[in-house]
Amino acid sequence: MFSIFIFLQLIITVTSYIPLNRDEHVASYIDNKIFFLGGETDTQNLTKDFFFLDVSIPFNTSSLPMYDLNSITEIPFNRRASSIVCETVKDAIFVWGGDFGLNSSSPLIFAFNTTAKIWNAANDKGIKPPRRRFSSVVCDKNAKIYILDGTADQNIGNTSTPYSNELDVFYTSQLTWSLGSNLNAPVPHDIGTATLLPNGKIVYIGGSNAFGKYLELTQVFLYDTLKNTWANMNTTGASPTARGFHTAVLTRQGHIVVYGGENAPFIPVPDQLLDLDTNVQPFKWTIPSIGFTPNPAPFRGHTSTLVGNYMIVAFGWFNNGTGSSRSNKIIMLNVNDPNNYMWVSSFTPPSVLSATSQPAASKSPESNTGSTNNTAVIIGIVGGVVGVIIISAVIFLYYRWYKNREDINVIPSDDAFKRSKEVI
C-alpha cells in the first residue's frame, strides 16, 4: 500500500493543476470532488476559473490532486456568489447571485451537470428576487433552496445598496420562486453563515448589518423549514467574538465548526476556531485550544467544505505579518473528535477510513498451515502491489489521453437544465 501511495503522489505532483491566489470563490462537494468556481485573483476582479480537488484518494496538502476544467464551455463569470448541492439531486451544482458583471439581465441561478459536464442557466419563473451577493444558502431534502440576506448595488444591476433579510425559496424541480416568512427574522445583513440541521431547522450565525456592525454569536437565529417560522436562541458556554466572513460546517457528531472571520475590515478575530454543540438545548459554544495553526491560515474570502472527518479550507485572505494577502493553499482540520480538533496535512478518504476501521476477520483453521502458505501470501501481496501500480499507470495514461481529445461544445438549454436536476 505504501508503494501505491508513493506512486499516486508522483502522478499528482506531475499532473496537478495549480490555481492562482484567490478569494470570494465558491466550493461544492459532489461525486468525490470539491469543485471550485470563480472568485477574485491578484490580477482579475471577476473570473470563471473552474477546477476540482479529487477527494477519492489519499493526498497531502503539499501535493494536491487538483485538475483544470476550464476547457468546458459556457462557464459563468463569478464572484461573491453562493453555491449549493442538494442531497436528492445527484448530479447538479447550483450557483446563486453574486457578481456576474454589470449586466442586470444575467440569470440568477446557474447549474452545472457533473455527469454531462454542461453549465446551464435557469429559465426561472414567477416573481424573481433581486440579485444579491454574500447570501447564506442551504438546500433541504425536498431540493428546495433557501436564500437569506445579502447585499445588492448598482454593480450588480440595482440602483441602491440595500441589505436584505428576505428569505427566498427556489424550487429546483419547477424552477419557481416563493417567499418564506420574515416574521422575527434576523436584521438585514450579509456575510453570515447558514447551516441546515437534520431536523429541518437552519442555524444562522453572525454577519454584518447595514451600519457595519458585526452580529454577536451569543444569539443565533433558527428558521424551521417545516413550519415556516423563525426563533432566536441565546447560546451558553463561551462568548465568541462577533464576526462576519467566517465559514461553518456541520460535523457528523452534530457540531457546527465555525472557522475564520473578521470584526473590522481585514482584521481577523482572535478566536478563529469555534465549536457550537447543537445536541444540547440551548446550543453551547466552545473555543477549542489548538497549539498548532497552519500557515497561511485564511480568515476571510475562503471556503470550508466537510468531507468525511475533514474540514477542507481553501484559499482566501490571510495575515502575512504586515497586511493581508490572497492564498492558493488548502489547509485541513480533522473534526472527528469534538474534544480534540487537529490541523493536519494528510487526507484519507471516507471510504478508506471505513475499510480500515472494520474489525479484523477471525482466522479459519485452514489459515494456520505453516510457513509455505505464508510465503505464498507474501509473494501474492508483492505481485498484487506491482500489478496495481502497472494497471493504475495504464488507466491514468489512457484517461489523460481521452480527456485531451474530448471536445465539449454543448449549448445550454432549458430542457438540459431540467434534466440536470431531476429529483430522485
Give the pLDDT means over successive 10-residue stretches in the chain (424 positions): 49 74 99 98 96 98 97 93 95 93 76 97 89 96 97 75 91 96 96 98 98 97 98 99 99 98 97 99 97 92 98 98 96 97 97 50 34 38 44 47 40 38 35
> Rounded to an integer, what is the distance from CA 406 to the centroid of its chain?
28
d(CA 343, CA 352): 20
Cα–Cα dist 125/361, whole Å? 57
Domains of the chain (ranges plus CATH)?
2-356+407-420 (2.120.10.80)
Q: Which three cell numbers stand for residue 394?
A: 495504464
CA distances from 286 to 134, 256, 281 (A): 26, 10, 14
- Residue 422, pLDDT score: 38
User: In this predicted structure, what is the pLDDT of residue 4?
Assistant: 52
**pTM for the full model?**
0.82
Residues in contact with 138: Cβ distance below 8 Å, sequence separation at least 6, in sequence order = 84, 145, 146, 194, 195, 196, 202
Q: Do residues 88 and 141 lie in contact, with contact meaning Cβ atoms separated by under 8 Å?
A: yes
